[in-house]
Amino acid sequence: MAGASVNRIVSPGPLHCLKLILEKEGPRSLFRGLGPNLVGVAPSRAIYFAAYSNCKEKLNDVFDPDSTQVHMISAAMAEHKKLNTK
């Protein structure tokens, strides 16, 4: 093994891969599968945003308005509500 050389395979970078995809499949191929993903994510984010907003509105009366406590508790409650609606 002394003096043996090791051939390393260098993988192409992300920009090279992007260039190949654009050349072979076109720009639309970059967005393939985006529609179904958005259909699944959008309702979840809407529930989270509505719950966060409602909690924040109510907690602003209890704690200092727009304080860290308000944001943290609102986010936790919104996540809890989102998980319980699935």
**Domain residue extents for the chain:** 29-78
Could you read off the pLDDT tens digit of each residue along the chain, which spans 86 residues?
A: 566 677 777 778 999 999 999 999 999 999 999 999 989 899 989 999 999 999 999 999 999 999 999 999 999 999 887 677 65
Is the Cβ–Cβ distance between 69 and 63 less than 8 Å?
A: yes
**E-strand spans in 1-86?**
none
Distance between alpha carbon 25 and the CA centroid of its chain, in Å? 25
Its pTM stands at 0.58
Total residues found in the chain within this entry: 86
